[in-house]
Structure formats: structure tokens, C-alpha cells
Structure 1
């Protein structure tokens, strides 16, 4: 029987049983997506990593209207247009955006992340001794940071946050498409404003770049706004859950803050609640682990399963910052490696470092099994994380 996405999650800190079964039985599997279309699910670490950087797969399709779909999200559920120019378009986009995520800029931004985190923790402490860590920190911090980086007014957060949630809906195509239209329309408004009143931010910088249209700036900046806060919100919430729910891990970080970099990498590797991975469409016939994949077919690169590959990671389902293993693929690999990875690492290191220093007695206020996760979203994160100190 062909496996069907999404896989049922039975334990919040362990991969879905069906994902584990597939992962342990081979590297490539015929599945059906959540909308019923046929696809190939790649779960093995080596193959996922290689295919992330393989030009034979892409985000476009010669006939996008009839291509197999991974879900209903307008952002990732269907292929993009531009089959003939995808490589050039992607290269150009990265060339335009790379300077804004340079090591120098990221180092300069770290002090501001420290300051914003401290302010949020001050507020949480005053309202304590209990709090929802998601509402108090995991959600507002990435939004504050990406707003300052892009030049987006923080007071608009409720609007663009609602549009972002709609865009990420993998079950309601109309809602997702409407959210994407609203987000892009807002981006055009910001571009017009930055052309009149430029500042020291990414959108203003792109406006000053010759040969870049308003529509292109709006599209790139709104994709950054979505990806730049949504994924970090998820990682802070899930990382805190892993640290507090895994015996001894919070106490170890409190006792030895020098472990923070290893903790951050394990926080990125360990989450297992993702369902299906990254969609790509085959541009030509290819063979993966002895399986023939035809041009036009949908290939799901399951980075979550790859990061739990038992041939690469000992006891892969255990949260263990002390492990010595191959680099995870949570940020992708090669030409499609996430531009925002340095910023995400900074935010996670600052968050968990400050939390450990200021709240050494932090603990979960509910059993881990009671923690709920968002459903029908591109990024499945913690809904709320009650903590006490």
C-alpha cells in the first residue's frame, strides 16, 4: 500500500511511525501527497543532500498547471513558472540578496538581537513566574529582527503575520493564494514608500539597485519576510521544548554555556514533526538509489528524515548536542543553502544563551505530551509552550 502524506504524529518528540518505517526500509519511496498526487519521497541523508544541489531537480515545471502538487500552499505546493530560466533567475536572486547577509552585517546585527531578546525577557520576567514562551519570546523576536533588517514597520506585524499563516496553509488553496496576494500587495506599498523615504535596510538597498523592478523587490522582500521569521519562530519553540523535555539537557546548558553552538546545531537537526520535506520537480529522467524517476515527476526531499538517518547519526531520534556527526541539512545544501542561516544561528544562540543565564530554573509547566503543534502548515511549530521558573 502506498504511503500517504501527512504522516500521523503520535509523539511530539519522535518522528511519525510511518516516516520511521519508510526511513528504515530504504532511501526512495513511492508515496501520495496530501492532495493525492503521486510523488517520490527521498529519506536517506546522502541522497537528500546530493539532490538538494542537483540541477536535474528544480522548483519549476514545463506545465505547472498539470504538474503533481505537494499541497495547497500557493508558495510551495505547486511549481513556479520560468522553467527555461530557473537557474539564471535563482542565481540573480542570490547575487542581489547575498550582500545583505554577509558575515560583517550579521556580526553587526548580533548586538541588536541581544538587546531585543533582553527586552522581551525583561517583560516576561515581570509578568512571571509563568509564561507562554512562544508568545513571550519565540514569536515576537524573529518578527522584530526581520522587520529591522528589511525595513518593515513592526506595528504592521499582526497584518503580515496573518497573511504569512494563510500563505503557509497546505490544505486551503484559496486562503493561501489570497494570503500571498495580500503579502505581495503590501510589499509593493513598502517599495513605493522606500523609494520616497529610503532608510538603512534591505528594501531600500534593493530600491537603489539598478535594473531591479518594484515587483521583483516586493516579491523577494516578502519571501524574506515570510521565511525570515516563520522558520525561526518554529525553531525557538521546538528547541526550547527539546531542551526542557530531555532529561539533563537544560541543566547541562546552564552549567556550561560554552555548549551553546553545539546546542543550536542539534536544535536544527533534531525536530521531526516536518511532514514531507521540500518539493522539487524532475527536469529530466534520473536514477536515485536504483529508482528511476521520470522528467516532470514530483520529488519530496525529506530533510527531517535525512537528519534522522541511522546510518549517519547514532541514536538519531535522541536529542544529544554532544554527538559528533555529519552536518545536518536543515538549511539545505549547496547552491540552495539558506541565505538566512547565519541570522537564524545568531538568534537561536542568543535566545538559549540568555534564557539559560537568566532563568536557570526554567521548566515546562505541562507534560511534553500536552504540547500542541500547528496543523496544515508548511512549518509545523509549537502552538504554545507554558513554562515556569
Structure 2
């Protein structure tokens, strides 16, 4: 059964969907979203400010808000503009690897590269001062804390306040950045909306990519044949990146009875199951990415000719930051295989510390060793 009732981590009931075809269909269904007409009494997913509860709204309001957001952001995050950014991302990656190789081995790749690269890039794009990175890092981590609702809400509030102040500064001192363009495109009276949107971009623009870069290093370390293969033929790196995006982390602590939370904003019937308006639906993206009908031998880590994973979603809500993430990932792994003869974990996977209390997961540290070419 690919659709069943399960308890959420917060203790409420939800529909869990795990089949690839069903999830792909629901991702494209505009009746499923982040809104609920009665959010205070809606089923809870987790006790966190991020994805914990739905926002207030109807199906029409949600889709109008989403259309407006896509229209505002699409030009800045288009695939063409992200390709123009590629040389700058390459420069940043090379600089960070220069710093890494200046450290004694083993060195913490998570702290030296995985965290810094996405933060540097998203700060430049948005116009956020990079020197504030440690401050908003604390707030981002607090926001996505799963076991401390008060800490999560405080982090959310702090980041929102920070972005609100930055928006006001940008109105007086505009720059060549996304926040300035949002201010110019939205017009007066939209400052709070822009601050919220910018806070979401800042959070999503680095937290998830950090975890994927770390995951790629782990997967290539425990699959040295794939490291050798992409070193011999760097043109296959985009395929390797797609497999990293599809694959589950080697240290995943997530239950299979969990998924991306969405709310039915109208009654939905799928595969003989009736989902009522207001019900919480968990889309098991990780499970869909391991569906054997789409991915033969899904446990294998191997670049595939066809890799229609759902990590970035599908349809009208396909992740707007996907082109940016792909540029960052291809550039960092290209830099690794063209600079090092060997590169990988300095400890076994079992010795790594998972960030189990964080919504995006990942690891706390990633000690690595290398041999330069």
C-alpha cells in the first residue's frame, strides 16, 4: 500500500504517500499546499517553526500567493542567470579548497567548505552581509530544531526581524541583489512580505545544500569506484550530482513513516483513497526516490542514464532554487576531482555525528583526508 495513515512526530494523524507515481501526481496538484483555513486546529507535523504548522489561507489564496512569489523570483533564479553565476561559484569553491588544504589533516570539510560555499553564494545573491553569517546561522539552526518549540520560534522571529531591518536598509541603499529587486518589483507596503520571503530564501538557500554537499562526500567515500570514475571522466559529474540528490544519506536517522508535509485544501481522491479537505498529507520523497519501478536497484549509488528523482519536487511547485543548487554541487565536486588524487572521509561513517535534532539532518562535522594531484 503506497498510501496509509500514520502518526506524525507531533502525535497527530496524517496520510503518508510513498509511491513515486502518486507523489508525482500530488506534487502537481494545486489542491495540495501549505495553507489551511483553521491552522490552529490543523494536524501538526512537528513542533518547529519550519513546517510545523500550516499558514492561514484558502486554496485560491495559496495559489495566488505562490504565483506572485514565482513571478517575483523567477528572473533572479532562472537557469540562465545561474549559469552566469557559475564562474563566481567556481572561484569561491577554489578559494575554500585552498583554505582547506592549508589546514593539517584530517580537516573538517563541513565547516571549511560545505557550510561556507552555499552561504557565500546566497549572501551575494540576496545582498546579505556575509559578516553576519554566524548570527543567522544560529537563527537558522534554531528555526529547524525539532525538539524545542520555543527555541525554534525564537530563531524564526529573530531571522524575520533581521531581514525586516535589512529590507529597510535596502530601500535607502539599494544594491545589485535579489532583495533590492524584490523591493522594486513589489512596490510600497510589501516590506513585511519581502522580509519573510527573503528569510525563507536565506534559510533554504544554504541549509539544504550544505547537507547535500556533505552527503556527496560521504557517498563518494564509501563508493571509491565512483570517485575513480568521475575523476577519469569529469563530464559525468552532472550525472553523479543527480544521483547524490536522489540517494539517501548513509547516516540517515529519518523514519520511513515521515515525509514532506502538505495540506489538502480541497477533497482529493487518489488510487481509491479519499483525502478530506484539511487533512495532513506527508509526501515521502525519499521513499519515492527509492521506488524500484523507477530506479532499478535503488540502494546502489551509481550515476543513471535516467534519474527523474523528486528531490526538487515536480510541476508548478518545482523548487525555484534547483538551478542554483545544481551549479553549486557540480562546481564543488568538479573542483574536488580535478584537484585531488584521493579524497574522502578520515573516519568511518558510523563515527560521524548526525544532526538528528535538525529538520534538514546532515552531520555536525565531516573529517576528511586527501592527496593532491
Task: Tell me if TM exceeds 0.5.
Answer: yes
In structure 1, what is the equivalent of residue 213 of structure 2? 236
1:49 to 3, 16, 24: 24
**When the two structures are aligned, how many residues end up with a matched partner?**
363
Structure 1: distance between partners of 2:172 and 2:320: 28
Deviation of the 1:210 alpha carbon: 4.4
**What secondary structure does 1:41 align onto?**
strand
**What secondary structure does 2:262 align onto?**
strand
The yes-or-no answer on 1:217 pairing with 2:217 is no
Q: Indicate if the aligned counterparts of 1:331 and 1:338 stay in contact, CA closer than 8 A.
A: yes
Structure 1: distance between partners of 2:82 and 2:186: 24
List aligned pairs for 1:99-248, cutoff 5 A: 99-211=75-187, 213-248=190-225
Q: Indicate if the aligned counterparts of 1:27 and 1:289 stay in contact, CA closer than 8 A.
A: no
List aligned pairs for 1:1-389, cutoff 5 A: 26-83=1-58, 84-211=60-187, 213-272=190-249, 273=252, 274-275=254-255, 276-321=258-303, 323-389=304-370
**Alignment deviations for residues 138-166 of structure 1 (CA, whole Å, 9 cap, x no partner):** 00110000000000000000110111111
What's the C-alpha RMSD, in Å, of the aligned pairs? 1.3
**What secondary structure does 1:299 align onto?**
strand
Q: Indicate if the aligned counterparts of 2:46 and 2:52 stay in contact, CA closer than 8 A.
A: yes
Deviation of the 1:130 alpha carbon: 2.1
**Alignment deviations for residues 331-356 of structure 1 (CA, whole Å, 9 cap, x no partner):** 01111000110000000000001011
Structure 2: distance between partners of 1:277 and 1:146: 26
**What secondary structure does 1:127 align onto?**
coil
Stretch of structure 1 that moved more, 279-288 or 84-93:
279-288
Structure 2: distance between partners of 1:243 and 1:311: 25
**What secondary structure does 2:302 align onto?**
coil
**Alignment deviations for residues 77-120 of structure 1 (CA, whole Å, 9 cap, x no partner):** 10011225111011001101111112332122111101111110
Stretch of structure 1 that moved more, 281-290 or 105-114:
281-290
Deviation of the 1:326 alpha carbon: 4.5
Structure 2: distance between partners of 1:130 and 1:358: 17
**What secondary structure does 1:35 align onto?**
coil
Q: Indicate if the aligned counterparts of 2:218 and 2:344 stay in contact, CA closer than 8 A.
A: no
Going from structure 1 to structure 2, the CA distance change for 1:364 and 1:326 (only over 3 Å counts) comes to: closer
Deviation of the 1:58 alpha carbon: 1.4
Deviation of the 1:170 alpha carbon: 2.2
**What secondary structure does 1:99 align onto?**
coil
**Alignment deviations for residues 290-332 of structure 1 (CA, whole Å, 9 cap, x no partner):** 22222211100010110001111111111111x2334100001
Structure 2: distance between partners of 1:192 and 1:62: 31
Q: Indicate if the aligned counterparts of 1:73 and 1:177 stay in contact, CA closer than 8 A.
A: yes
Q: Indicate if the aligned counterparts of 1:77 and 1:170 stay in contact, CA closer than 8 A.
A: no
Q: Which blocks of at least 5 consecutive residues in structure 2 are unaligned? A: none
Structure 2: distance between partners of 1:363 and 1:210: 46
